[in-house]
Amino acid sequence: MAPATTALVLFLLLLSTTSNAHNITRILAKHPEFSTFNHYLTVTHLAAEINRRETITVLALNNAAMSSLLSKQLSLYTLKNVLSLHVLVDYFGSKKLHQITDGTALTSTMFQATGAAPGSSGYINITDLKGGKVGFGAENNDGKLDAVYVKSVAELPYNISVLQISQPLNSAEAEAPTAEPSQLNLTAIMSKQGCKAFADLLISSGADATFNQNVDGGLTVFCPTDPVINGFMPKYKNMTASKKVSLLLYHGIPVYQSMQMLKSNNGIMNTLATDGANKYDFTIQNDGEEVTLETKVMTAKITGTLKDEEPLIVYKISKVLLPRELFKPVEEAAESPKPSKSKHKVAADAPESDAPAESDPADDQTADNENGVAGLDGGGDW
């Protein structure tokens, strides 16, 4: 291949790669008349959701239209539902608006995609009206078209389109009072989705309070399923109270991390248990669609998503996450000197252990290997 041809191919590949990326905040920042709309997309975390989507249409409201919407004094979480009704999960450029089959189209929005919209209330009606106008209205709004198309703000076919509409879309369902994420019962959500055992441990240890305090700012939870927790309980029961809390907090990251973010942000992650010298971190790795969590003791796989509604996301995982601060790797334990079998000769400086005094290492090996761990690390309660 000639050098000039090679350079052209590389340029086109680069262009196709970069064309898939968009940033709604930067797009709207170039248009001051949408500054209020832009601000609330950010504070409701919708901007991040929009940027993660590959095909999206944003029905933008100028400052005057936003003033009308804000006069309703909706809570921030209800406002998020209303604004998500203005984000279509399909591409509609200005040209496509006037080429709608049969003159009307019903399309889903991010309000519908969250699962918060009852029935089909998260769908929007787009109708090509006479005189070149295009009307927009919520599906559950008795056929009323609240707004009309004003102009195209930005288009990146077929990735993102930002279109200005004249007025906010009305929807009783979207405007219904919405509980704040911190008011949602996190443990109840987990209990209904196969993570009841882990939820019960959070409650009994008091660790649930720390999880709930971090929801508003963003929270990612890794929840071992019930069979996994049940198999780990003999080891858990032998831990001190403070170590139990640290272990449970190790299963939370104080930031929202979608699956796409985890795949693109491989590396070390701090957890809710991280505190100064106590690192309590682990490494995120992915191999294609498989995402793993690697501690210095073991590796667990993400097996499913239990709840995803920014700023909260909860994943199911295949094993209990074991931090090096509490557990010894198998190799390290194998190199350790075997304890004396004499019940009368005990070293004066022998560390206090969370493991049972009469435990036979051979008996514990099977259960320990399920979690890739040889045993609890020595040391008293700290």
Amino acid present at 215: V
Number of CB atoms found within 10 A of residue 21's CB: 11
b/e map 291-308, b = 16+ CB within 10 Å: bbbebbbbebebbeebbe
Look up tokens 């889903």; give the residue: 108
**In this predicted model, what pLDDT tens digit does every residue of 65-112 receive, in sequence order?**
999 999 999 988 899 999 999 999 999 999 998 888 788 899 999 998
DSSP state of 182: G
Amino acid at 359: S
Would you list the DSSP string of 316-346?
A: EESS----TTTEE-HHHHHHSPPPP--SS--
Higher-confidence residue of 104 and 223: namely: 223
Could you tell me if 252 and 221 are in contact, meaning their C-beta atoms sit under 8 angstroms apart? Answer: yes
Distance from C-alpha of 356 to C-alpha of 20, rounded to nearest angstrom: 56
Determine the straight-line distance between the first and last CA of the chain, rounded to whole angstroms: 66
Can you tell me the mean pLDDT for 147-175?
A: 95
Report pLDDT for 116.
75
Q: Are 165 and 150 in contact (CB under 8 A)?
A: yes
So what's the pLDDT on residue 245? 96
Helix axis angle, 241-249 relative to 196-205, nearest 10°?
130
CB 207 within 8 A of CB 245: yes
In 3D space, the residue among 201, 175, 205, 156 whose CA is nearest the CA of residue 51 turns out to be: 156
Under CATH, to which class is 184-317 assigned? Answer: mainly beta
Greatest Cα pair distance in the chain: 98
**Mean pLDDT calculated for residue range 217-236:** 94
Give the domain ranges of the chain: 24-165, 184-317
Distance (Å, whole) CA 55 – CA 146: 24
3-state SS of the chain: helix, strand, coil percent to 5? 35, 20, 40
Q: How far apart are CA 123 and CA 133, in angstroms?
A: 20
Query: Rounded CA gap, 250 and 273, in Å?
Result: 5
Q: What is the pLDDT of residue 180?
A: 66
Q: Which helix (H) or strand (E) holds 160?
A: strand 160-165
* Other C-beta atoms lying within 10 Å of the C-beta of residue 252: 21
Closest CA relative to residue 158, chosen from 88, 101, 234: 88
Angle at 37 between CA 36 and CA 42, to 5 degrees: 95
For 14, phi then psi, to 5°, come to: -65, -40
267-323 pLDDT, tens digit each: 999 999 998 678 899 999 998 889 999 999 999 999 999 988 877 899 999 999 999
Q: How far apart are CA 93 and CA 158, in angstroms?
A: 8
| 19 pLDDT above the threshold of 60 | no
pLDDT of residue 10: 44
In the numeric block, which tokens belong to residue 267? 């590396």
What pLDDT sits at residue 253?
93
Position 370 pLDDT exceeds 80? no
> Is 184-317 in the same CATH topology as 24-165?
yes
Q: Is the pTM of this model over 0.85?
A: no
Q: What is the CATH number of domain 24-165?
A: 2.30.180.10
- Residue 337 is predicted with a pLDDT of 54
How many CB atoms neighbour CB 311 within 10 A? Answer: 18
Averaged over 347-375, what is the pLDDT? 38
